A and B are shown apart, each in its own frame.
Chain A
């Protein structure tokens, strides 16, 4: 036996595999991780504090910058919570536009995950393919709301822009294109022995642990828990669409991969149905007062963002600004389990496991 000794390894905060500014203090013995401690807060901008001095409309662009890979769902969370507290009904057309953009954003976000997670374990070409296809979604968003990442698209009571001419056709074409490409990804990755070896049986989480840690999204579903807020606590108009909730069985990295890939398929299916059922004409904004004075009260809504349950907790005291705004940020919850997952793993699996959780540091740090 080789004699090993403990040492402390610092990973990050500037490291390509931490997907942002995450720092990990890892205690290793030889190549085996004894202990890992995430250090976060490098990207803390105090969104919740800032929001206390902003009107509800002004908060929306700030939410774009939390989970910057799926700003549409963030927009939706704050708008949905405010609407619920004010009791505003959203025009149907706006709901459809919201669902279409949210699901497309889910696809885009998962594509980034797929590309970067595979890049972490050494596969270069899927990354390029993923970004090529994500670019198509960003172009569609750019055409719709004038920005590629920070959309600022939704408003309390509806959406800012109606779909431009021919936009829905482009969406339809994209869904077709993406379905074709999904087969390509499948062929590219699924049979790859290196990929299978790096992911199967790695980073296993039991469903009890996952629930206790409050994991959500694919991180929870890969352990076999069928829990999707779109299905089980329906919001918006998700109850009108047919889609499945993919679940895994073992809760390892491979299951996460399969879950997310199937989620892309399901998201495409929802987009397809939404475009099919898209209502003819109608308003895109409900009648809302110019100054949004939200009645006194408290509301918590959870929605399914690509990373899991994105919650928005508003405490209002009847002013035009929230008294307290709290976001339940899924990445923050999901990252918490990392020390448990890393314990006893080989150091080489660190980036693979971290990549599998799919965190966005803007969201972790708020």
Chain B
């Protein structure tokens, strides 16, 4: 029983984001690899090669993966949205079989991944896909350990040159926390989205405030409202809430002081 539970929790960790993608847009996953999309694989098959691709890079993932992948999409759905969400992953793969035009941003995304993997290491990028709903925005999920390096590379490498931070927000997914940054290159007129995941209990992410000054207050805000610690932040204090406030309001388990308000 306890083993199953363990498995389930692990599945949730790895699985949920997958559903996330699938639901995102039928399509999101398709960005994983062009070849896969062309082969028009089923959802299940679609997953496994992707995991395989990651396997050599990250041991953690490969340990967990073989079991959960076949049922990946099902258990990962959180209780509440079951009726709505379960049919979705099933129907979407069928849609994916339809020849969806490859996203125009796909070569760019693949190039990003290639550069990051070359410069920093294979395991730096956990996942990557095109967020079709958002104007084909290349989205990369970065490993926490490489977060700072990737950010630096994104700013300085001529093929990235993302010198402008558009937005930096934190999201509580109940299973994990995520910090999402949207970067923009004024010269190349391109946008990109980087995401990094962290545990809920000891949420900790390296700070980017020395790379983009804009991250400074943003990270303070995220710390204040979501309770994510930022390592090496010059002044990690509450910014919007009063200093003596208890709790982090935007966390999903936060209990408001006064329900009426």
Given contacts A48-B250, A49-B250, A336-B217, contact A214 B164 (CB under 8 A): yes
Q: How far is the CA of A44 from the CA of B172 in the complex (A)?
A: 20
Question: Smallest Cβ distance from A288 to chain B, in angstroms?
Answer: 16
Which residues from B are CB-within-8-Å of A332? 217, 221
**Residue A295 at the chain B interface, CB threshold 8 Å:** yes
**Residue A40 at the chain B interface, CB threshold 8 Å:** yes
* Of A213, A299, A319, A366, the contact of B213 (CB 8 Å cutoff): A213
User: Which of A17-25, A268-276, A310-318 is near enough to bind chain B?
Assistant: A310-318
B9-35 contact mask (Cβ, 8 Å, vs A): 1 or 0 = 000000000001001110010000000
Q: How far is the CA of A33 from the CA of B167 in the complex (A)?
A: 30
Which residues from B are CB-within-8-Å of A297? 23-25, 28, 131, 133-134
A299 to B240, Cβ gap below 8 A? no
List which B172-206 residues lie within 8 A (CB) of chain A: 172, 180, 182, 186, 189, 191, 193
Main secondary structure of the interface of A (DSSP, over half): mixed
Which residues from B are CB-within-8-Å of A323? 171
Q: How far is the CA of A209 from the CA of B164 in the complex (A)?
A: 11
Q: How far is the CA of A7 from the CA of B96 in the complex (A)?
A: 67
Which residues from B are CB-within-8-Å of A300? 134, 137, 166-167, 180, 182, 193
A179-211 contact mask (Cβ, 8 Å, vs B): 1 or 0 = 000000000000000000000000000000101
A330-344 contact mask (Cβ, 8 Å, vs B): 1 or 0 = 001100110000000
A298 to B249, Cβ gap below 8 A? no
Given contacts A41-B241, A365-B240, contact A85 B133 (CB under 8 A): yes
Given contacts A84-B133, A313-B182, contact A296 B85 (CB under 8 A): yes
Q: How far is the CA of A84 from the CA of B133 in the complex (A)?
A: 7
Number of interface residues of A (CB under 8 A): 44
Question: Smallest Cβ distance from B85 to chain A, in angstroms?
Answer: 7
Which residues from B are CB-within-8-Å of A324? 169, 171-172, 250
A44 to B25, Cβ gap below 8 A? no
Question: Smallest Cβ distance from A190 to chain B, in angstroms?
Answer: 30
**Residue A227 at the chain B interface, CB threshold 8 Å:** yes
Q: How far is the CA of A28 from the CA of B28 in the complex (A)?
A: 54
- How many A-B contacts at CB < 8 Å in the complex? 119
Q: Which residue on chain A has the smallest CB distance to residue B256? A: A49
B25 to A318, Cβ gap below 8 A? no
B133-159 contact mask (Cβ, 8 Å, vs A): 1 or 0 = 111010000000000000000000000
**Residue B8 at the chain A interface, CB threshold 8 Å:** no
A225 to B180, Cβ gap below 8 A? no
Given contacts A311-B182, A332-B217, contact A296 B250 (CB under 8 A): no
**Residue A16 at the chain B interface, CB threshold 8 Å:** no
A313 to B167, Cβ gap below 8 A? yes
Q: How far is the CA of A228 from the CA of B216 in the complex (A)?
A: 24
**Residue B163 at the chain A interface, CB threshold 8 Å:** yes
Question: Smallest Cβ distance from B169 to chain A, in angstroms?
Answer: 4
Given contacts A211-B164, A302-B167, contact A295 B23 (CB under 8 A): yes
**Residue A328 at the chain B interface, CB threshold 8 Å:** yes
A214 to B212, Cβ gap below 8 A? yes
Q: Which residue on chain A has the smallest CB distance to residue B172? A: A324
Q: Which residue on chain A has the smallest CB distance to residue B25? A: A297
List which A30-56 residues lie within 8 A (CB) of chain B: 40-41, 44, 46, 48-49, 52
A302 to B166, Cβ gap below 8 A? yes
Q: How far is the CA of A40 from the CA of B220 in the complex (A)?
A: 12
Q: How far is the CA of A49 from the CA of B169 in the complex (A)?
A: 13
B134 to A84, Cβ gap below 8 A? yes
Q: How far is the CA of A72 from the CA of B101 in the complex (A)?
A: 36
B239 to A211, Cβ gap below 8 A? no
B223-245 contact mask (Cβ, 8 Å, vs A): 1 or 0 = 00100000000000011111000
B213 to A336, Cβ gap below 8 A? yes
Q: How far is the CA of A332 from the CA of B165 in the complex (A)?
A: 13
**Residue A309 at the chain B interface, CB threshold 8 Å:** yes
Q: How far is the CA of A102 from the CA of B216 in the complex (A)?
A: 30
* Of B24, B25, B85, B249, the contact of A49 (CB 8 Å cutoff): B249
B166 to A328, Cβ gap below 8 A? yes
**Residue B41 at the chain A interface, CB threshold 8 Å:** no
**Residue A212 at the chain B interface, CB threshold 8 Å:** yes
Q: How far is the CA of A313 from the CA of B191 in the complex (A)?
A: 14
**Residue A232 at the chain B interface, CB threshold 8 Å:** yes
A41 to B182, Cβ gap below 8 A? no
Question: Smallest Cβ distance from B49 to chain A, in angstroms?
Answer: 23
Pick 14 A–B contacts, CB within 8 A, sort by A: A40-B240, A209-B213, A212-B163, A212-B212, A213-B214, A214-B165, A295-B24, A297-B134, A298-B180, A299-B131, A300-B182, A302-B166, A311-B166, A324-B171
Extra contacts besides A298-B131, A323-B171, A337-B213 (6): CB < 8 Å: A212-B163, A298-B134, A299-B134, A324-B169, A326-B167, A326-B169
Top 5 A-B pairs, shortest CB-CB distance: A214-B214, A296-B23, A326-B169, A297-B24, A328-B167
